[in-house]
């Protein structure tokens, strides 16, 4: 039987990006507001929070996203006051993006 050291080295290499990611993010990196810590904890149970912060969605879209995560990815169902708090935070902190004033989309058909 081989020594366990090479196996442990390979496992450490495979986990290094995930561990670095986990250490790099904290709730304090994101906009302050009621529900930030709950939202951060809920989302980072499965993925980095940067993926959340990159989205710009309406409250309805955030609500649909929570349903989708529950149905497709087995996220625990979030209901009641906790769901409202998460939706309030997401809506306020990561609203739909709008184009800068005066921006002309060069690919838009007129």
What percent of the chain is modeled with pLDDT above 90? 65
pLDDT of residue 7: 52
pLDDT confidence bin for 104, thresholds 50/70/90: confident
pLDDT of residue 6: 59
pLDDT at residue 1 tops 50: no
Termini Cα distance of the chain = 69
* 76 SS3 class: coil
CA distance 97 to 37: 23
Q: pLDDT tens digits, residue range 29-57? A: 999 999 999 999 999 999 999 999 999 99
Yes or no: say if 49 and 30 are a contact pair by the CB < 8 Å rule. Answer: yes
* pTM (global) more than 0.85: no
Provide the residue ranges of all domains of the chain, joining segments of one domain with +.
Answer: 26-93
pLDDT of residue 51: 93
pLDDT of residue 98: 78
> What does the block give as tokens for 79?
């209901």
Thinking of the domain 26-93, which architecture would CATH place it in?
A: Orthogonal Bundle (1.10)
Mean pLDDT of 73-82: 94
- Among 106, 110, 69, smallest CA distance to 90 is for 69
């Amino acid at each position: 039987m081989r020594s366990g050291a090479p196996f442990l080295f390979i496992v450490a290499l495979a986990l290094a990006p995930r561990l670095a990611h986990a250490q790099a993010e904290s709730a304090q990196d994101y906009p302050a507001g009621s529900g930030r810590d709950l939202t951060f904890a809920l989302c980072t149970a499965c993925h980095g929070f940067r993926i959340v912060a990159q989205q710009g969605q309406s409250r309805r879209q955030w609500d649909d996203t929570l349903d989708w995560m529950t149905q497709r990815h087995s996220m625990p169902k979030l209901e009641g006051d906790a769901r409202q708090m998460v939706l309030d935070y997401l809506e306020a902190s990561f609203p739909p993006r709008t184009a800068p004033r005066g921006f002309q989309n060069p690919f838009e058909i007129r």
